[in-house]
Amino acid sequence: MQKRHNAFTLLEVLLSITFITVVFTAITGLILMTLQVNRKNVRSLQATYLAQEGVEVMRYIRDSNWLQNYSWDEGEKQWGTNYGLEDSEESAEFYIIETGEADAYWELTTVSSQDESAGEVVLENGQTFIRSILVERVPDEVDENIDREDAFKVTAIVMWEDRGRDNEVRISTILTNWQ
């Protein structure tokens, strides 16, 4: 009769250690990838909210102009640069500056007259976004019932850098003279 040895051999121990190492490496990689994707999603969501706020600011300016007897696409004295387009212009790009003042909480300034820092939005966590508003004439392929003289396509653009990559979110709407 042979004796059975219940002890592990060196080969079994090495195979077990290798298996455990591979499993823990895979789990660690999965956790790191999940954290990275989560961070990217959080940044995209923050940028989307900032873009939506930009569109809402433009609606607010349009509506406030009407209430204060300005033309719906003007109000340069209160909001900064007039966001209407000259006859020769197809588009213009603006930064929205939060002034915090009672008279005009938001101010528009042309991108060409400022450096990029005018459009910076820095969140509490330190993440920096650049927000601008692109005002364009309404393209012909959009609804034919829109009077192109009384409407603008407004696009909020929010850009940020994450791990050396440039990212961007755009939200568009058409603002009309609703009077």
Lowest mean pLDDT: which of 72-76, 96-100, 169-173? 72-76
Position with higher pLDDT, 10 vs 27: 27
Note whether residue 20 is domain-resident.
yes
Note whether residue 118 is domain-resident.
yes
Note whether residue 115 is domain-resident.
yes
pTM of the model: 0.75
Q: How many domains does the chain have?
A: 1
In angstroms, rounded to a whole number, what is the distance separating the alpha carbons of residues 111 and 92?
8
| Structural domain of 49 | 10-176
Note whether residue 110 is domain-resident.
yes
Position with higher pLDDT, 84 vs 10: 10
b/e string for 4-23 if b means 16 or more Cβ within 10 A? eeeeeeeeeeeeeeeeeeee
Note whether residue 5 is domain-resident.
no
The 10s digit of each residue's pLDDT in 31-83 is 999 999 998 999 999 999 999 999 998 888 888 776 667 766 666 666 666 66
Position with higher pLDDT, 29 vs 125: 29
